[in-house]
Amino acid sequence: MTATPAIEGWFTVGDAPTLLGERCTGCATTYFPPTAAAAGFCRNPGCDSETFEQVPLSRRGTVWSYTDAQYQPPPPYQAPEPFVPFALAAVELPEGMVVVGQVAQGYGTGDLRVGQEVELVVEPEHASEQLIYRWKPVIELGEEADQ
Amino acid sequence: MSGSSTSTIIAGVGMHPWGKWGRPFVQYGVHAARAALADAGIPWTDVDLVVGGETVRNGYAGYVAGSTFAQALGWNGARIATSYAACATGAQAIDTARARILAGMSEVALVVGADTTPKGFLAPNAGERWEDPDWLRFRLLGMTNPAYFAMYARRRMDLYGATQEDFAQVKVKNSRHGLTNPYARYRKEVGVEDVMSSAVVSDPLHLLDICATSDGAAAVVLVSEAYAQRLGLADPVRVAAVSTVTPTFPNTVLDMPMLSTDAGTPGDRTFKQSIGAAAYEEAGIGPEDVDVAEVYDLSTALELDWMEDLGLCKEGEAESLLRAGETTLGGRIPVNPSGGLACFGEAVPAQALAQVCELTWQLRGQAEGRQVEGARVGITANQGLFGHGSSVIVTR
């Protein structure tokens, strides 16, 4: 059985996954999560367009900030038993938006800093086989020894 | 300051002590309302408008809070309104009361907020809601409120060189401020090592960096200039400005509970900077005129953010003010003399009103044990989820 995304239409899976944004056909504003088309309006106050096209977002961005969850978040978060702390990052994309995601398995806040480059990956959720997008630190050549 | 024709007058303020009392929110609200009316020396029968701050955790009575308080105090025919703006609820309720007074449609308005809160993390409402960002952030990411606070805190560390000890010092300061405040829930001195040895909730924030949720209530009686004169109020505290602005597009700073920001080129001011700016503009004053500030320290580090957003210092300089003792009682610009959320814990619909109560006591010189000497101008700041700005300037 192939794993399915935890939420439909937010990201692609495979070797080079991307987040899927929506671009307004009127003013070219890009949105993520891709909920603008379903809502039926563009949030730019100077635009009354109602149509959007799906666009893949940049796979790489820079860390705006980061943290972790050391206490188990309440439902509807689906926690593994026992709970395992995990890191979170808010990432600034070249499109000019910041997108929050969990950080890839095996990385914690000690591996992150504001301004650092990260890349989108897709991994199973903490407590299910369903897939979720995550941010993974990009390790430049020469820095690998430090990691 | 603001002219008499454009300001409303704070005739009375009152609170119910913050705590975890487990009683119905209506009881706290009535207690605070009666305290505020007694403080003003105004009979309940004179109140012609009740504005209630809605609580979303207490069933239907909470959704129609204005009516609930009016009925509990005894129907007197007053008009009612109920406001909800998350943490900014109190400011929006004051704004509604003030607008009716300034329009000549009300003489005496009673504004009340009260809450009974559950333990632990504030979680979203039950049910599967795949289009609700507040539900999705928990379901997909496990992104709690403290995780947002922690991200703001981390930026201060990586960009400005703040330390976890700096954040702890905010708690130390506020715990001292609140020591003798009879309405504060936590009245105990806290040391840096207490904060640093408490569990990390979301790196870099410890448990004692993050405010609790509390039961509590606060009320404000606003009156018109004409009514104040008839009452014989001399040199009263005035509401010089209420800012309830929303963001402008694109909002490019990450806001709780969103998973992303708008895309685009940011404007001249962030949303939080625009909240204070609108208040200053309306009051016709600037940050340099402020004697005392009550800001929303949901986390210790957020207090430092607010100081900069209100223009009390330049970006990245809040830690140096803190370290120099400038934001402590006796310093140049005391911040959170009440003890802040660090000593109160948050009672959502009451909190913005509690800030105004504290500043009223400060400006009247009645803040026993925590008085900012000679305070004549005070500002509050907070922000409610989903784009609710909240800043009130009071003057005397």
Which pLDDT belongs to residue B118? 75
Q: What ipTM was assigned to the predicted interfaces of this complex?
A: 0.95
Contact A96 B155 (CB under 8 A): no
Cβ neighbours, 10 Å, residue B28: 28
User: How many angstroms away from the CA of A15 is the closest CA of chain B?
Assistant: 21
Contact B249 A43 (CB under 8 A): yes
Does the structure show a pLDDT above 70 at B95? yes
pLDDT, one tens digit per residue, over B278-308 is: 999 999 999 999 999 999 999 999 999 999 9
Rounded to whole angstroms, the Cα distance separating B260 from B272 reads 17
Nearest residue in A to B139, CA atom: A77
Rounded to whole angstroms, the Cα distance separating B306 from B296 reads 8
Does the structure show a pLDDT above 90 at B123? no
Which pLDDT belongs to residue B127? 84
Q: How far is CA B35 from CA B29, B94, B218, B308, B388, in A?
A: 10, 17, 9, 34, 28
Q: What is the dihedral sign for C-alpha B276, B280, B286, B288?
A: negative
The strand pairing partners of A91, in sequence order, are A63, A99
Which pLDDT belongs to residue B121? 64
According to DSSP, residue B121 is labeled S
Rounded to whole angstroms, the Cα distance separating A1 from A124 reads 14
| Residues of chain A contacting B123 with CB distance shorter than 8 Å | 74-75
Which pLDDT belongs to residue B3? 42
Rounded to whole angstroms, the Cα distance separating A7 from A48 reads 28
Which pLDDT belongs to residue B6? 65
Contact B142 A79 (CB under 8 A): yes
Alpha-carbon B309 to chain mean position: 15
Token digits of residue B351: 């909190």
Q: Tell me if residue B87 is catalytic.
A: yes
Q: How far is CA B50 from CA B74, B79, B98, B146, B334, in A?
A: 12, 6, 12, 34, 32
Nearest residue in B to A109, CA atom: B203
Which pLDDT belongs to residue B2? 41
pLDDT, one tens digit per residue, over B328-382 is: 999 999 999 999 999 999 999 999 999 999 999 999 999 999 999 999 999 999 9
Q: Which residue has the tokens 């088309």?
A: A37
Alpha-carbon B325 to chain mean position: 23
Task: Of A85, A91, A92, give the one whose Cα is nearest residue A126.
Answer: A85
Nearest residue in B to A114, CA atom: B158
| Residues of chain A contacting B120 with CB distance shorter than 8 Å | 74
Q: Does B199 touch chain A (CB under 8 A)?
A: yes
Which pLDDT belongs to residue B4? 45
| DSSP secondary structure, B74-102, as one string | -----EEEEE-BTBTHHHHHHHHHHHHHH
Rounded to whole angstroms, the Cα distance separating B233 from B370 reads 25
User: How many angstroms away from the CA of A38 is the closest CA of chain B?
Assistant: 10
User: How many angstroms away from the CA of B359 is the closest CA of chain A?
Assistant: 34
Q: Which amino acid is at B277?
A: A
Residue B134 pLDDT grade (very low, low, confident, very high; cuts 50, 70, 90): confident
Q: Which helix (H) or strand (E) holds A39?
A: helix A36-39
pLDDT, one tens digit per residue, over B150-196 is: 999 999 999 999 999 999 999 999 999 999 999 999 999 999 999 99
Does the structure show a pLDDT above 80 at A143? no
Nearest residue in B to A94, CA atom: B263
Does the structure show a pLDDT above 80 at B5? no
Cβ neighbours, 10 Å, residue B188: 10
Task: Of B373, B342, B374, B339, give the one whose Cα is nearest residue B357.
Answer: B339
Q: What's the average model confidence in pLDDT over A7-32? A: 96
User: How many angstroms away from the CA of B151 is the closest CA of chain A?
Assistant: 5
Say how many CB pairs under 8 Å bridge A and B.
132
Q: Does B143 touch chain A (CB under 8 A)?
A: yes
| Residues of chain A contacting B142 with CB distance shorter than 8 Å | 69, 73, 77, 79, 86, 88, 102, 126
CB B81 within 8 A of CB B48: no
Backbone angles phi, psi at B237, to 5 degrees: -80, 135
Q: Does A77 touch chain B (CB under 8 A)?
A: yes
Q: How far is CA B148 from CA B128, B166, B204, in A?
A: 22, 18, 11
Q: Best residue in A23, A67, A105, A132 to probe B by mutation, most B CBs within 10 Å?
A: A67
Does the structure show a pLDDT above 60 at A144? no
Q: Best residue in A55, A100, A123 to probe B by mutation, most B CBs within 10 Å?
A: A100
Does the structure show a pLDDT above 50 at B35? yes
Q: Which helix (H) or strand (E) holds A137?
A: strand A131-137
User: How many angstroms away from the CA of B145 is the closest CA of chain A?
Assistant: 10
According to DSSP, residue A77 is labeled S
| Residues of chain A contacting B150 with CB distance shorter than 8 Å | 67-68
pTM of the predicted protein model = 0.95
Token digits of residue B16: 């119910």
The terminus-to-terminus CA distance of chain B in angstroms comes to 8
pLDDT, one tens digit per residue, over B243-259 is: 999 999 999 999 999 99
Q: Does A40 touch chain B (CB under 8 A)?
A: no
Which among B130, B151, B260 has the least Cβ separation from residue A99? B260
Rounded to whole angstroms, the Cα distance separating B318 from B326 reads 10
Which pLDDT belongs to residue A141? 59
Q: Does B147 touch chain A (CB under 8 A)?
A: yes
Q: Best residue in B122, B125, B201, B202 to probe A by mutation, most A CBs within 10 Å?
A: B202
CB B53 within 8 A of CB B83: yes
Nearest residue in A to B128, CA atom: A76
Contact A64 B151 (CB under 8 A): yes
| Residues of chain B contacting A113 with CB distance shorter than 8 Å | 158
Contact B138 A74 (CB under 8 A): yes
State the average pLDDT for chain A.
93
Q: Name the percent of chain B lying above pLDDT 70.
A: 97
Token digits of residue B87: 């943490």
State the average pLDDT for chain B.
95
Residues 6+ apart with CB under 8 A from B92: B83, B84, B85, B244, B384, B388, B390
Which among A73, A96, A114 has the least Cβ separation from residue B158? A114
Q: Does B150 touch chain A (CB under 8 A)?
A: yes
Rounded to whole angstroms, the Cα distance separating B380 from B353 reads 10
Cβ neighbours, 10 Å, residue A67: 29
pLDDT, one tens digit per residue, over A90-119 is: 999 999 999 999 999 999 999 999 999 999
Q: Which residue has the tokens 């660090």?
A: B342
Nearest residue in B to A77, CA atom: B139
The pairing of strands B377-384 and B292-295 is parallel
CB B177 within 8 A of CB B329: yes
Token digits of residue B114: 């009260």
Alpha-carbon B28 to chain mean position: 18
Residue B117 pLDDT grade (very low, low, confident, very high; cuts 50, 70, 90): confident
